[in-house]
Chains A and B, each alone.
Chain A
């Protein structure tokens, strides 16, 4: 028998393409385990109808690792905590090599990430140079994630051909002050708004399993939906040694799957990407269930400071599931 919220979602989200409200999302997140397969199946149908069957594949790389002045309590790259991650700058040839390897997997997206509050001139110069070199040698879309931006920096990145910019909300507004104290939610929203104004695609993600309540998880999904991002990368906390959240338990796999379904039902048309922590939280079986439960994009291979499943494991899974990899679209 179907749960009432799933009947509502079928009408509202699947048929009309209208995402669930915050209160409705709480109901999805509270569904009992025996309703989970039906929730995932509905989320999958929503994704197929409103996004299509393609899966967008992306590789990410850290151009500047560690030593960040911010204090995001989940992050091993914050210089505020006693984490084993040391500062490293990646050189351009290595970056180009990584872009080539990423493109060889069939990925259409390559995201250059730096652990900073916002970029300084040195970093922007390095990024600009890297973009030029990648363009010369590799056919792939380039995205960036360089922290909070000024208007001028947003315009610079857009003019260099950065087509998408990542800046996460991470958690609900009501929980944010417990996770980050060195900048505000509003500052994050400002960067997100400027990115959209400049015509770049906004990639704005979530990190769940940090001790937030189900209500706060629903709040986050609704706050993301209100931003209408092109993409939402969904991360699950991988507790990092030395950080304030280092002793947090790994999130329950079923709760993670409920969240996947809920995020899809909140945002029927958004690219919903599997990002960090899924290996730990969901394992191989859960990875498959998520791809059949609303996810339509993956990060292949490793993350910024941790390792992922081998790219082949994900690519073979897509073949098994009969899901085509999204092709590079030339819009220029």
Chain B
């Protein structure tokens, strides 16, 4: 049935029962390819829940190594993994969760020179990066490539998420036109964060990725979810496209990946494992 093994039927039975997923949807998930950029605070729950859900192929981009300070929120890694490449530590954990999962590890720094080729083989991209230059770069590259992007960001007790489907809603620049000037936001190493906040945003991102892949429900396209964990407030705000958006507006000024080179400056803080996740 749909080419499922007996083991797959049991493993995914809770999905197959759902009318919105079913055997057809589960098969779609198995054929899907998702790229998760960042194996940190956001990337951990995203990757683990997508692996558990039966996504066929998961790409993981991260060049950092596991640090003790990551373990307060990054569930993919353990104490024994300290010093190891995050993608390697992630591979062990994800393979243990689901041996059927095909993993594609990209231990590279996301840059203007490689972003287009990194995202090209995937159906959906999930942003788990930890700095603004990388976030804008990913947004621009996905808009130019017409690739759905599930955005997520964190600061202290606050989080946001939105889903960008180029052509049918705003992009990250429509909502936040320019990166904040350096120094305006707390530097990477200054920003504390509550681990569960990363978990909430990351699990929302995993949900959105699954909805986009299956074409079910109402994804966060044209809406921005904001979460204040301390206050316990969870809100979605409608948000339209900005006609003057430099990348997805009527007269875009960002039209080629070459112009993304400015982002190569990147976050100059050690580990870059920071502001966002």
Pair from one complex: no
B: residues with CB less than 8 A from A are none
